[in-house]
A and B are shown apart, each in its own frame.
Chain A
Amino acid sequence: MKAMKKSFKATISNLIVALIYTVVIVLLIYVIFGNQISVAMALVNTISIDKTQKVVEETKLDLNNMKLINYPEYGTQYGRLIIESVDIDLPLYFGDTLSILSKGIGHSSGSYFPGEGGSILCAGHNYRGYIYDLYETKNGDIITIETNYGTFNYEIYDSQIIKETELDKVPIQKEKEILMLYTCYPLDAIGHPTERFVVYANLVE
């Protein structure tokens, strides 16, 4: 009984002393390595993302300022692009990386959104199931962009073949709402084509 009591006492005293040592050592570590620890934590947190589901605010168009309220997130689908005359109906994504283009039409992040009154630059693969038939379109055909904030109709008025480096042929401006939709050219090219087939369309509705 006495031994048990002594053992209990020894354990408790050890725990208390160990706690004191812990506090001293933790404080010591904090004083010596505090800055380095903070930097390391900050570094790790910069490569961390919040995976909790974010509430996505609905995209709206401010008609007075011709500007979107709550832009869609990069890489997400925000509408559909339809060309009835050649049977094209594809999801429209914000962004135009190869991975986005493999899902549908990509909207270049450096251009304006439908309704904002400027150049809208969109791209798609010339693969079947994508915009393979874009070459079949004619002047006067209608390209429709359906978004959750409105539907926009554009009438094709021109098309041309350009070099991939001829960026002046797809100018980004804010004076007039123009949709420029392009795909790789020539149609049967093998490899990384260096030309693009672009159709130009004016906003009509």
Chain B
Amino acid sequence: MKKFISMLFTFILILLVLLTTILLISKSTILNESYILKQIEEEAYYDKVAENLRESFKSNILQSGLEEEFVEELIDEEKIKNDINGLVNSIYNNTDYNIETESIVEKLDGEIERVLDSRGSVLTDDAQESIDRFIKAMSNVYVNEIVLIEGSQDVLKNIVSVINEYINIVIIILIVAIVVFAVLLALVNRNIKFLGKVLFANAFIIFFGYIFINWNINVNNILMFTESFSTMLSNIISKYMNVYLYVAILYFVIGIVVSILSGILGERKSSKH
């Protein structure tokens, strides 16, 4: 009976540690706004978005009658950075963020007015409509390049906000449960050998999961929205996965230490008897 209880509690403890590990790693990485912003900065994502915008603006400008060089006037790297950060912030804090395109519209209006004045052209209704369509398309290009897919931030916002609302309380409950089961196991077994088993099992499961995911999915091949976004996403996932690998190694090493310690303590106990 004692052996069965010990096995059952060890089994439960392994699951509790595993779940806590997953939640703690996720909380400090992908569910952490500062971590994501740091990754965006490290990946030079702002520059890549600016480059994509340059290309997209150029594609539209070439058919607009404006000079290709005017694209540079529309690229405001500070605004791009603020908009991306604002969007990330809105996802993690469940707030609204509106991407303003007024400055782009103003610049385009100014340039179009300048070109029309220099030509002495008079605007017809058709010409005005064509200008309005062009300005709207340029604004959409900017918003789409930042947001990637309209409404995607709302979906993310809902998921992240629900997870973040409960994750802390779940982690606390799990840690309390881990302590309770560890104490119970220590009392039942009268040694700390079970800790080694728990840590080794977690190391093996995490390592198996790491191998399994890498075997079945090539993270580097993920293509979502744009190439620059995909590269950043792949790198964030790779780093996230690597954290698990480091934790598995850490659990394994601590498992060895605990096993050796439990062996020494067990020997001392038996020599006392």
Could you tell me which A residues sit within 8 Å of B by CB distance? 2-4, 6-11, 14-15, 17-19, 21-22, 24-26, 41, 44-45, 47-51, 97-99, 101-102, 125-127, 130, 184, 188-194
Contact = CB atoms under 8 A, between A and B. Distances in A.
Given A101-B62, A101-B63, A191-B127, 12 more contacts: A10-B263, A14-B196, A21-B10, A25-B15, A48-B217, A48-B222, A98-B62, A125-B62, A188-B65, A188-B119, A190-B121, A191-B131
Contact of B193 (A14, A49, A101): A14
A17 B11 CA distance: 11
A142 B129 CA distance: 36
Q: Is the interface of A mostly helix, strand, loop or mixed?
A: helix
B191 to A, nearest CB: 9
Contact of B263 (A8, A22, A41, A99): A8
Q: Is the interface of B mostly helix, strand, loop or mixed?
A: helix
B260 A192 contact: no
B217 A41 contact: yes
Given A3-B268, A101-B59, A190-B115, A44 B127 contact: no
Nearest to A25: B205
A10 B201 contact: no
B224 interface: yes
A8 B11 CA distance: 23
A193 B221 contact: no
A10 B266 contact: yes
For the complex of A and B, 3 pairs with smallest distance between CB atoms:
A7-B263, A18-B200, A98-B59
Contacts of A2: 267
B221 A6 contact: no
